[in-house]
Chain A
Amino acid sequence: MAKLIAGMGTSHVPGLGAAMDNGKTEEDYWKGLFAGLEPLRGWHQANTPDVNIIVYNDHATEFSLDSYSTFTIGVGESFKPADEGWGPRRVPEMLGHPELAWHIIESAMADEFDLAVNASMDLDHGFTVPLSIAYGQPKEWPTAVVPVCVNVIQHPLPTALRCYKLGQAIGKAVASYPDEITVGIWGTGGLSHQLGGERVGVVNPEVDQRFLDNLSKDPLANTRLSHTDFMREAGCEGVEMIMWNVMRGALGDNVEEVFRLYHIPVSATAYGAIILENR
């Protein structure tokens, strides 16, 4: 049977990817952050699973006002980095894991989750930046991926609790997958940030740290926050944090936090990363 070894949460700020792509990580602005990420990268090197299920959101790249499902899962053999307006990031293609993806679709459907199925979606910074954060700049990514896209842009959004329950359904699906493979799950986006309007630049370390604490101490507390709570307290785009609930829901009751980094600013965002090992 497949084994879900751990979850990671990380912000997916495009500037972080650009800093790596353009060789700026030694500059004063970035140095501290990348030094702080060293242990995270060490952990990933020592704990590379066969597949990572990566929960992200698409930022008007592949999905838009024309069509945006609440939850979409990628079943392609491979996925390309997307052109988001400045040309695609020059990072390797991502290999999919259609077998696991389809198993999740079937298992989740029996659990009342009807996931939209997509075979050809290009993946934007929401997906590729976390890969770069974890694995740096390899010629090929060390794991296959299953993309799970959550609509966190176009209201109405799924509730924080619904995201957690989707995670539980994914966790159950992984546990019943017949092959002996190891699997990781990542929640991406956040933490507090607001990118638009006169209030742009608002961040909230107190709310972010409580959210991070809750992931191991009281994960259900993070499911009781409304979208307005997130938007008011953690900025309009801080609502992305609900994607971390998918990651947390997939893990078991007992997790051990083995890494945390919190850093302001990355662009207009409070950067957060965490690794939770499944016990």
Chain B
Amino acid sequence: MEREYDNIPGTYPLDSRTYRKGYHVNMFLMSLNKAECRDQFAQDERAYLDTFKMKEDQKLAVIERRYLDLLKLGANVYYAFKLVSFDRQPPQVMYGQMAEPRLTFDEFQQMMLGGGRPINGNRSVEEWNNG
């Protein structure tokens, strides 16, 4: 079923649709809260991922740290943070990678220091399409 918020551009809320699509990938991400799971993942990422009922494209997106693809495959950003933290990266690295256009850490910081992404022009898919 469509939702009222579906035409907010570039936005991936966790709802019943993403819940089901992303259940296993999010539960993998959540497991990184535990030090012993982080150790297992560090030892052999692929082998650890194989202990979860994730789809192959989800596993590859994890291994290749493709964060936007992860969201598209059902991961939620709060869960995705666990992977960024695992890598000891600041979140701005992930933010920049997801941004359209893609931004480096410094470019993302600069955008925020300049007042952030403006709301005007970013409210709806229609606003995006009209440039």
Docked Cα-Cα span, A196 to B75, in Å, equals: 10
- Specify which chain A residues have a CB less than 8 angstroms from the CB of B86 in the assembled complex: 85
A59 touches B78 (CB 8 A): yes
Known: A198-B99, A200-B99. A232 touches B8 (CB 8 A): yes
Docked Cα-Cα span, A199 to B68, in Å, equals: 11
B30 touches A201 (CB 8 A): no
Encode B77-95 as 1/0 by CB contact (under 8 A) with A: 1111110011010011001
Report the count of interface residues on B (CB-CB < 8 A).
52
B80 touches A268 (CB 8 A): no
B14 touches A231 (CB 8 A): no
Docked Cα-Cα span, A85 to B35, in Å, equals: 8
Docked Cα-Cα span, A66 to B30, in Å, equals: 10
Query: Does any Cβ of A come within 8 Å of B58's Cβ?
Result: no
A197 touches B71 (CB 8 A): yes
Known: A60-B29, A60-B82. A200 touches B98 (CB 8 A): yes
Interface size class of A (residues with CB under 8 A): 35 or more
- Specify which chain B residues have a CB less than 8 angstroms from the CB of A178 in the assembled complex: none
- Specify which chain B residues have a CB less than 8 angstroms from the CB of A196 in the assembled complex: 11-12, 71, 76-77, 80, 98
- Specify which chain A residues have a CB less than 8 angstroms from the CB of B98 in the assembled complex: 196-198, 200
Identify which of residues 91-119 in chain B touch chain A, using a CB-to-CB cut-off of 8 Å.
91-92, 95, 98-100, 108, 111-113, 115-119
Which one, A87, A192, A226, contacts B35 given CB within 8 A? A87
Query: Does any Cβ of A come within 8 Å of B48's Cβ?
Result: no
Docked Cα-Cα span, A205 to B4, in Å, equals: 23
- Specify which chain A residues have a CB less than 8 angstroms from the CB of B8 in the assembled complex: 199, 228, 231-232, 236
Which one, B91, B118, B124, contacts A195 given CB within 8 A? B91
Query: Does any Cβ of A come within 8 Å of B19's Cβ?
Result: yes
Identify which of residues 243-279 in chain A touch chain B, using a CB-to-CB cut-off of 8 Å.
264-265, 267-268, 270
Docked Cα-Cα span, A232 to B32, in Å, equals: 31
The 10 closest A-B pairs by CB, nearest first: A198-B10, A196-B77, A198-B100, A199-B10, A203-B116, A265-B112, A85-B85, A155-B15, A85-B82, A201-B117
**Contact surface of B with A, Cβ cutoff 8 Å:** 4-5, 8-16, 19, 23, 26-27, 29-30, 32-35, 38, 68, 71, 76-82, 85-86, 88, 91-92, 95, 98-100, 108, 111-113, 115-119, 122-124
A to B CB contacts below 8 Å, 19 in the list: A60-B30, A60-B82, A84-B82, A86-B88, A153-B76, A154-B15, A196-B76, A197-B68, A197-B77, A199-B122, A201-B95, A202-B117, A202-B118, A226-B4, A232-B123, A265-B112, A265-B113, A267-B91, A268-B116
**Contact surface of A with B, Cβ cutoff 8 Å:** 14-15, 59-61, 64-66, 82-87, 153-156, 192, 194-207, 226-228, 231-233, 236-237, 264-265, 267-268, 270
